Structure 1
Amino acid sequence: MAVRLRLQRRGKPKRPYYRVVAIDQRAKRDGEPIEILGQYDPIAEDNKFKVNIERINYWLGIGAKASETVAALIKKNQTVEIKQ
């Protein structure tokens, strides 16, 4: 099973809110995640982005790949290097 770290959309129409999740790459965008790793609110004034860095490092360490968007958010907001 190939695992991806990606965003899962939540919220209301025109008011998106995202979860950062570890999920099978074949699953639908809003499918059942393996683990919820954090959250991202793009509408908030300071773009609230909160993640569990220890768990992200764990998933990356066992071979999961981050989506381009998640990798960019982590690089922008944290001091973690993402290898693609």
Structure 2
Amino acid sequence: MLMIRLARVGARKQPHYRVIVIEKDRARNGRSIEVVGTYNPRTNPASVELKRDRIDYWTSKGAQLSERVGKLLSQAAAAPATEVAA
């Protein structure tokens, strides 16, 4: 089963996240299938960049969203200026 979830990158006490498509059984930072966005909670306001077309593609193939990615997706829908088309 595929999941769309966050993978933590960045230095200690400086989190930065990638939104990735990955097998559900793999480790948090294991080998992913595709990177479909980024999330930086350290900026004010937090910056979110998502490839909506790729997320829609993977959800059509059966991928499930994690709880946090679902919240980020709904927030990005409310503010489309943070969305990336490519």
Scaled by the length of structure 2, what TM-score is found? 0.88
> What 5-or-longer segments of structure 1 have no aligned partner?
80-84
Shift in Å, 1:52: 0.3
- Equivalent pairs counted in the alignment come to 78
Uncovered stretches (5+) of structure 2, i.e. residues with no partner: 79-86
2-structure distance, mates of 1:53, 1:77: 10
Greater share of helix residues, 1 or 2?
2
- Within a 5 Å distance, the mapping from 1:1-84 to structure 2 comes to 2-78=1-77
**Aligned-residue CA RMSD in angstroms?**
0.8
Identity of aligned residues (%): 35
Name the TM-score, length of structure 1 as normaliser: 0.90
Structure (1 or 2) with the greater strand fraction: 1
Partners of 1:62 and 1:39 in 2: CA distance: 21
